[in-house]
Structure 1
Amino acid sequence: MLREKKTGINFLVVLLLFFFPFILFSQKRLNESSLKIEVNKEKIKYKEEINFDKAQKFFFEKEWDSTLVYSMKQLTKNNALELNDYCHYFRAVSFLRKKLFKEAKNEFRLVSKKFAFYHNVSFFLGEIALEQNEFKLALGYFNFIEKLPESTYDFKKSDVLQNIGLCYLHLNEFSKAEDYLIENSELHEAQKDTLLLAESYLILANLYYVQYNDNKAIPYFEKAYALSKKIKSFEIKRMAAKNMAAVEENRKNFQAALVYRKEYEIWKDSLNDQNKVWAIADLEKKFAVKQKQKQVDILQAENKVKAAERNGFLASSVLLFILFGTGVYFYRQKIKNNKIILAQKNELDELNATKDKLFSIVSHDLRSSVNALKTSNGKLLENLESKNFSELDVLLHNNSTIANGAYNLLDNLLNWALLQTKQAYFYQESLHLASIVQHVEYNYKPLMLNKNIDFKNDVNTSDYVYADMDSLKIVIRNFLDNAIKFSNENGSISIYSRPSSEEFCYLVIEDSGLGMSKATKEELLKETVLLSKKKNDDIIGTGLGMQLCKSMINKNGGKLEIESEENVGTKIIIALPKFKNNG
Structure 2
Amino acid sequence: MIKTKIGVILLLFFIPLFLFSQKHVQFDSLFNKQIKTKSEKFKEDLNFKKAHLFFVEKNWDSTLVYSGKQLNNAPNNELREYSLYFRGVSFKNKKLFKEAEKELNKISSDFEFYYKVRIKLGEIAVEQKQYNKALQYFQGILKETDKAVYDLKKSVILHNIGLCYLHLTKFDKAEEYLFRSADLQKAEKDTLLLIGSYMDIATLYYEQYKDQLAIPYFEKAYNLSKNVKSFELKQNSTMNMAVIEENRKNFAAALAYRKEYETWKDSLNDQNKVWAIADLEKKFAVKEKQKEVNILEAENKLKAAERNGFIISSVLLLLLLGGGIYLYKQKNKTSKIILEQKNELDILNAAKDKMFSIVSHDLRSSVNALKRSNTKLLENLESKNFAALDALLHQNSAITNETYNLLENLLNWALVQTKQVYFHQESLHLHSIVEQVQYNYTALAANKNISLENSVSIDEYVYADLDSLKIIIRNLIDNAIKFTNPNGFISIYSRHSDNENCCLVIEDSGIGMNALIRNSILNPAAIVSKKDKDEFVGTALGLQLCKSLIIKNEGQLEIESEENKGTKMIIILPQAK
Identify the TM-score tier after normalising by the shorter chain.
0.3 to 0.5
Larger Rg: 2
Q: TM-score, normalised by structure 2?
A: 0.45
